[in-house]
Structures are given as structure tokens and as C-alpha cells.
Amino acid sequence: MGFLDGILGNKEEPAREGLPFNISTSLRPVRLAARRENCLEVLVTIKNVSDSPFMASATIEVPRALGFENLGITRIKEIRMGELAPQAEKTISFSLCANSQTVAGVYAALLTVNQHYRDYAHVLNYAKKSVEVRAV
């Protein structure tokens, strides 16, 4: 399935030194239609590669041309995933929408995955990843 993952945009980022999780992203469908109201799903899979559970959250920030609804008012969205067990993975979905003002081009959405301790106000580790969204 590696060939299809390359076509569909599934990219896994290996854990860096000291980072207890891997991040993989994919887009469904692969692109947006420019100058139309349509949406796509950004699927984010976080895998706990450590031997201890932790709380995780993911935040995505989109440029002005995109939004999380057709009006494009909201630019940042956070999803709290709760606790990830050791060696477990969880997939969440962000819905990105284009509107009649979205021109054709490549847009970068900034994904941030946080590892928390105690509660969501305390961040232990984080990783940032740029997700490219094409509008044609």
C-alpha cells in the first residue's frame, strides 16, 4: 500500500530524538476546487511509540484563503485526543474548506501536535508539520 500512500499524500514523520510519537497526514480528496465552495478532510494519525501513555492534542492553522467552514471565518482549530496508550495510534480529521474567493495555488496549513502532562495547559513536547493543500 506504500505506492497508493505516495499518491494519496500519506506521509509519516518518524519520531525525532526525545519525541514519543509519529505523525502521518493524508488528504481526502487530494485537492480542492478553486473559486468554489468545497471541502476536503485532513486526516492526522498520531502513533505513540513510547512505553508510557500521554495526553495529546492537535492544532491546525490555515491561511486566509481557506477556513474550517464555507465562510472561512475560523483560522485555527484544536482537537484534544485524550490519552494515547503505549504503542497505540489515533486518527483525527480536520475539514478544510475553500470558498468563492479561493484562487488556484498551493496553500500551507501548519499542523502542531502537542504532548501534554497533567492537563491540556501543560505542554511537554510538540512537533510542527506543514501540510500542503492544492486548489485547482
- Asked whether residue 110 carries a pLDDT value surpassing 80, the answer given is yes
Q: Hunting for cell 480528496 — which residue is that?
A: 29
DSSP 101: T
Residue 15's pLDDT is 58
3-class SS of residue 25: strand
Domain 2-135 has CATH 2.60.290.11: no
DSSP readout, 55-94? Answer: EEEEEEE--TT-BSSTT----EEEEEEEEEPTT-EEEEEE
Q: How far apart (Å, rounded) are the C-alpha atoms in residues 13 and 117?
A: 22
Residue 1's pLDDT is 44
Distances (CA, A) of 5 to 2, 8, 25, 28, 62: 5, 5, 10, 12, 23
pLDDT classification of 136: cutoffs 50, 70, 90: very high
3-class SS of residue 108: strand
**Single-letter amino acid, residue 21:** F
- Asked whether residue 81 carries a pLDDT value surpassing 50, the answer given is yes
pLDDT classification of 4: cutoffs 50, 70, 90: low
- pTM for this predicted structure: 0.88
CA dihedral for 105, 106, 110, 113, sign (positive or negative) = positive
Q: How far apart (Å, rounded) are the C-alpha atoms in residues 114 and 116?
A: 6
Could you tell me how far CA 75 lies from the centroid of its own chain?
13
Residue 18's pLDDT is 75
Residue 71's pLDDT is 85
Domain ranges for the chain: 2-135
